[in-house]
Amino acid sequence: MKQKICMTSFAPSAQCLGGMRRWQRVFALGIVLCGAVSGLEGCGHQSSAETTTKTRIIEVSSSGAVISMDPAAAKHFKLAQTKTIQMPHHFSAPGVIAPDVSRTVSVFSLANGFAVRVPVQLGEQVVKGQVLAVVDSPDLAKAISVYQTAKAQLELTGKELRREQGLYRHGAAPRKALEEAQFSEQHARIDEQTAARQIQILGGDLKSPSPFVTVRAPIGGTIIKQKISRGEAVENSYLFRIADLSRVWALCSIYENDLSRVKVGDPAHVEVSAYPNLKLQGQVSNISHILDPTTRTAQVRVVLDNPQGLLNPGMFVTARFTSMHKSPQVLVPVTALFQLHDQFWVFEPVKPGIFHRVPVSVGSVAIPGWQVVTRGLQANQSVIANSLEFASAASMQD
């Protein structure tokens, strides 16, 4: 809703004067101190533009304010034209460090039992083949018993087969007896091989059968998860998770409005909260097709090299993306921008003596003296070139 404030230049009413003062407080033009305006001579002197300026606020709304000024005084303020330039999009997003799943391994024990020794801890660096845990397993003890029985049976059937072969060669035994001995020996051999395989699956050693299973690290890396400690039961679940952190992921949350600006293969500059001076260069490797219904963000994966091991899972980062696709961006002179209460504004001439204070959203400084405007202005649009000087003159009301 717009608030109309009607004023005269020479005898304003008390009601209108109160409106003017309210607008002055909103506009906060009192922050422009004497001497801070370029082109002014000093605290006790006024420029010719100021002495002749008479302004009225004729309309105030949420979208800004319309200011009326003496057309003769308005001519003292130069205008500037916005322009466009082809440039890539720049935007940032928060993220968190996560291990590369292609370099992460879960360590299991297929033999149930109890952990009698766990010589490693969460977060520890391990090498390939290092002992992670020793498990006393009744399953393995039973498998060893079955294997030893099958091995003894194989030796017995082997002796019977050799005896029947000798008798058959001398004609003292029928062929059927020989074939039965051969079948029994083959069956016993299969049982022995099956029992041996079961021991190997459970993690046992055929050369020195023991009910204790030694769990070793399949790769070198960092233990990022641990689900077992000494004395605890081991039951069909992974015991450890090891990650090679020489390369990690930065999982960033991108708002749906920015998804069209990022593509797989785009570069990303990553800053780590734990190391303010550390600047990392990464690359977008994946863009999730699933949008979080609560935050309206999608997960974008950035691959980062981590040769020194400084990046650990869970660290917070900020990724700054640069789109490879260029598009026209509106630029405005930096001097045309006026900041008030975390909001940027420009003054746009509507007609001689009438100006509109327009809220704008700004981006980065594209070229020296020119700043990107993401909302509020269009190309080839006229604005007051020196907003600070204009604001100072407009604050001098009768």
- Return the CATH fold of 107-242: OB fold (Dihydrolipoamide Acetyltransferase, E2P) (2.40.50)
The answer to whether 59 and 355 are in contact (CB under 8 A) is no
- Return the CATH fold of 3-86+330-394: 2.40.420
Whether 184 shows a pLDDT value over 90: the answer reads: yes
Q: Specify the domain boundaries for CATH 2.40.30.170 within the chain.
A: 91-102+244-327
Band of residue 59 on the pLDDT scale cut at 50, 70, 90: low
Q: Specify the domain boundaries for CATH 2.40.50.100 within the chain.
A: 107-242
Q: Specify the domain boundaries for CATH 2.40.420.20 within the chain.
A: 3-86+330-394
91-102+244-327 has CATH 2.40.30.170 classification: yes
Stronger pLDDT, 25 or 315, i.e. the higher one: 315
Measured CA to CA, the distance from residue 362 to residue 373 in angstroms comes to 4
> How many other CB atoms sit within 10 Å of the CB of residue 301?
20
pLDDT digits (tens, 9 = 90+) for 72-101: 888 888 999 999 888 877 788 999 999 999
pLDDT digits (tens, 9 = 90+) for 275-288: 988 999 999 999 99
Measured CA to CA, the distance from residue 124 to residue 130 in angstroms comes to 12
Average pLDDT on 341-358 reads 88
pLDDT for residue 388: 87
Stronger pLDDT, 88 or 69, i.e. the higher one: 69
- In percent, the amount of the chain with pLDDT more than 90 equals 46
| Location of structure tokens 């004023």 | 7
